[in-house]
Structure 1
Amino acid sequence: MPNPIKEALLGRGWAGKTLSRTETVEHLNPLIEQHIELNRYYDDAIQSCGDERVVGVLERLQKTARTDVGKLSETVLSCGGTPPNGTGLEPEDFTLPGTFPDMLRRLHELETEFNDRLADELDLEHQMRTRGLLEAVKSNSTDRLDALSALRRRAEELEA
C-alpha cells in the first residue's frame, strides 16, 4: 500500500522499495487479459446495437480502451515480460445475453469489476511510471462507467 507520508513529502517522486520488473509483469498480465476480454464484450454490444449514436459512443470508448491495453502491454514488454494478446479468444465466447439494456447492465458490471481490480493494483507499491499508467487506465475506466450509466438510463427509458 502506498505510503501517504512518502507521497506528501516526495510528491510525484518516490523512495523505498517498489515492485520488481518481474512482479510488475505478474500483476499487469492478468489486468491485460481482463481488459482484452472486457473489450470483446464491448465488441458484442456494438454489433448488437441498432442505434448509431450509441454505437458511436461505444466505439469512442473502445478506441481508448484498446489504447490502454496497448500501453499496459508496452509496460510489460519494457519489464522483460510477454503480454497476453487475446489471439486464443473466440468472439462467440463473449456474448451479452438479453435486451440491449440488459447488455449495458452486464457491461457496467464487468467494467466495475475491472475498475475495482485497478483500484486494488493502485494499493500496491508500483514504480511511479506504472502507477501513473494505472491511474490513467482507471480514469478511463471510470469514464466508461459514467458513459455506460448514461446509456443504460437512456435505453431503459426507451424500453419502458
Structure 2
Amino acid sequence: MPNPIKEALLNRGWAGQTLSRSETVDRINPLIHQHIELNHHYGAAVRYCDDARVVDVLERLQKTARTDVGKLSETVLSCGGTPYNGTDLSPEDFALEGSLGDLFGELHGLETAFNDALADELDLEHQMRTRGVLQAIKSNSEDRLTALKALQRRIGESA
C-alpha cells in the first residue's frame, strides 16, 4: 500500500522499494488481457445495439479504452517485457444474448471488475510512471461506468 507520508513529502518523486520491472510486467499483463476482453464486449455491444445514439456513445467509450490498452502495453514494453496482445481472442467469441438491459448490466459488471483490479494495483508500490498510467486508466474506467449507468437509465426509460 502506498505510503501517504512519502507521497506528501516527496510530491512527485519516490523513495524506498517499488516493484521491480519484471514484477510490473507480471502484474500489468493480466490487466491488459482483462481490458482487451472488456473491449471485445464493448464491440459486441456496438454490433448488437440498433440505437444510433447509444452506439455513438459506446464507440467513443471504446476508442478511449483501446488507447488505454496501448498505455498499458507501453508500460510493459518500457519494463523490458512483452505485452499481451489478444491475438488468441476473436470478436465472434463475445456474442451477447438477452435484452439490451442485460447487455448493459453485463458491461457494467465487467467494467466494475476491471476498475476494482486497477484499484488493487494502485494499492501496490508501483513505480511513479506506472502509478500515473494506472490512475489515468482508472479515471477513464470510472468515466465509462458513469456513461454505462446513464445508458442503462436511458434504456430503462425507453422500454
**Normalised TM-score (structure 1):** 0.98
* CA shift for structure 1 position 105: 0.7
**1:90 deviation in Å?**
1.6
**Range that drifts further, 111-120 or 91-100:** 91-100
Verify: 1:60 aligned to 2:60, yes or no: yes
For residues 40 and 17 of structure 1, the distance between their equivalents in structure 2, rounded to whole angstroms, comes to: 36
Counterpart of 2:117?
117
* Equivalence for 1:98: 98
Residue identity matched to 1:88: D
Following superposition, the deviation at residue 44 of structure 1 comes to 0.3
Structure 1 gap ranges (5+): none
Give the aligned partner of residue 72 of structure 1.
Answer: 72
SS for the counterpart of 2:140 is helix
Q: State how far apart, in whole Å, the 2-side matches of 1:127 and 1:36 are.
A: 23
Question: Deviation at 1:116?
Answer: 0.3
- How far, CA to CA, are the matches of 2:147 and 2:158 in structure 1? 17
Separation in 1, partners of 2:124, 2:146: 26
Deviations 1:61-95 (A, max 9, x none): 01100000001001101111111111111222212
| Distance across 2 between alignment mates of 1:27 and 1:95 | 28
Runs of 4+ residues over 4 Å off in structure 1:
none
Aligned to 2:153: 153
Does the 8 A contact of 1:44 with 1:95 survive in 2?
yes
Using the TM superposition, give the Cα deviation of residue 157 of structure 1 relative to its aligned residue in structure 2, in angstroms.
1.2
Residue in 1 that maps onto 2:23: 23
Post-superposition shift, 1:97?
Answer: 2.1
1:98 maps to a residue whose letter is: G
Amino acid at match of 2:134: L
Coordinate RMSD, CA, aligned: 0.7
Return the letter of the residue paired with 1:135: Q
The SS at the match of 2:61 is helix
Partner of 2:89: 89
- Whether the 8 Å contact between 1:96 and 1:106 is mirrored in structure 2 is no
Distance 1:122 1:156 in 2: 34
Q: Please list, as runs of the form range in 1=range in 2, the aligned pairs for 1:31-42 lying within 5 A after superposition.
A: 31-42=31-42
Aligned counterparts of 1:97 and 1:126: Cα–Cα separation in 2: 39
Give ranges in structure 2 of 5+ residues lacking alignment: none
1:85-120 C-alpha deviation (Å, 9 max, x unpaired): 111112222122211111001100000000000000
